[in-house]
Amino acid sequence: SQTIHQWPATLVQPVGSPLSLECTVEGTSNPNLYWYRQAAGRGLQLLFYSVGIGQISSEVPQNLSASRPQDRQFILSSKKLLLSDSGFYLCAWTGRADGELFFGEGSRLTVL
Amino acid sequence: KQEVTQIPAALSVPEGENLVLNCSFTDSAIYNLQWFRQDPGKGLTSLLLIQSSQREQTSGRLNASLDKSSGRSTLYIAASQPGDSATYLCAVNSGNTPLVFGKGTRLSVIA
């Protein structure tokens, strides 16, 4: 069966520090991968999605970036965090013919 | 551009009640619609996926319906329990673009 792993689960970082959140999917190949952010009291915001290795689409301009170095690995990064980057970050994947989307457990980032 | 709306934003019901959560979307040319549950501080759990050719899907006490022509979907929860308390989100897949999410309905089932 397919599983998705996301880490770290919780992160507290000072403003201006770098960020790396990692997501891996097991049990499937060539998934579509997604990074979402959920800020307090707001809906899900799609940040990046990828349909293959090295293929990244960005939905919103910001100081975050994403990379897909391997088929089932998706990384969210920042060189310098801002206070506004605080939030709950969710990785998701879809690969089945029916298009069902599955989410990881999320990473809570607090920037101080 | 697809827009998804969920009403109400919050709902509180006594245990045992049957309830309906609503989801509407602006563009009826969809590939599928998915309902999710989110517990506080957790990721989203997929509940039901309805393909555009289907009218409804059922899983246990949950039943989701889809009316593409009117741009509506409903999630019916039978005999609600306190453990059903969570935020419920619907998301629409229009094919070649990523899913568009509603903002969710926060459900509280009171014992």
Q: Of B11, B27, B9, whose CA–CA distance to B19 is shortest? A: B11
If you measure CA to CA, which chain B residue comes closest to A105?
B43
- DSSP annotation string for A49-63: EEEETTEEEESS-SS
Partner residue facing B32 (CB), from A34, A42, A98: A98
Q: What is the pLDDT of residue B21?
A: 97
CA distance B82 to chain A (A): 22
Mean pLDDT of B52-68: 96
- pLDDT of res. A98: 78
Instruction: Inform me whether the pLDDT recorded for B59 exceeds 90.
Output: yes
Tokens of A18: 């770098």
Place A39 in a pLDDT band, splitting at 50, 70 and 90: confident
Of A43, A100, A106, which is closest to B43 when you measure between CB atoms? A106
pLDDT > 90 in chain B, percent: 92
How far from the centroid of its chain's Cα atoms is residue B85's Cα? 14
Q: Do B19 and B80 touch, CB atoms closer than 8 A?
A: yes
- Verify whether the Cβ–Cβ distance A43 to B34 is below 8 Å: no
**What distance, in Å, lies between the first and last C-alpha atoms of chain B?**
41
Residue A96 has pLDDT above 80, yes or no: no
How far is the C-alpha of B87 from the C-alpha of A28, rounded, in Å? 28
pLDDT at position B1 is 87
Judged against a pLDDT cut of 70, whether residue B49 lies above it is answered with yes
Task: Please provide the average confidence, as pLDDT, over all residues in chain A.
Answer: 92
- CB contact (8 A) between residue A100 and residue B91: no
pLDDT band with cut points at 50, 70 and 90 for residue B102: very high
Residue of A51, A56, A103, A105 best to disrupt the B interface, most CBs of B under 10 A: A103
Q: Which residue of B has its CA nearest to A5?
A: B43
For position A61, what pLDDT does the model report? 65
**Residues A69-96, mean pLDDT to the nearest whole number:** 94
DSSP state of B96: S
Question: Cβ contacts of residue B53 below 8 Å, gap of 6+?
Answer: none
Q: Is the pLDDT of residue A40 over 80?
A: no
Going by their DSSP bridges, the two strands A19-26 and A3-7 should be labelled as antiparallel
B41 touches chain A (CB under 8 A): yes
Distance CA B68, CA B52 (A): 7
Give the mean pLDDT of B91-104: 88
B89 touches chain A (CB under 8 A): yes
- A29 vs A95: CA distance, rounded Å: 8
Which phi and psi angles does A62 have, rounded to 5°?
Answer: -170, 180
Work out the minimum CA distance from A98 to partner chain B, whole angstroms.
7
Q: Is B83 helix (H, G, I), strand (E, B) or coil?
A: helix
Of the pLDDT bands very low, low, confident and very high (cuts 50, 70, 90), residue A62 is confident
How many contacts, defined by CB atoms under 8 Å, are there between A and B?
A: 45
Q: What confidence score (pLDDT) does residue B91 get?
A: 96
Instruction: Give the minimum alpha-carbon distance from B111 to chain A in angstroms, rounded to a whole number.
Output: 26
pLDDT category of residue A95 using cuts at 50, 70 and 90: confident
Cβ proximity of A101 and A16 under 8 Å: no
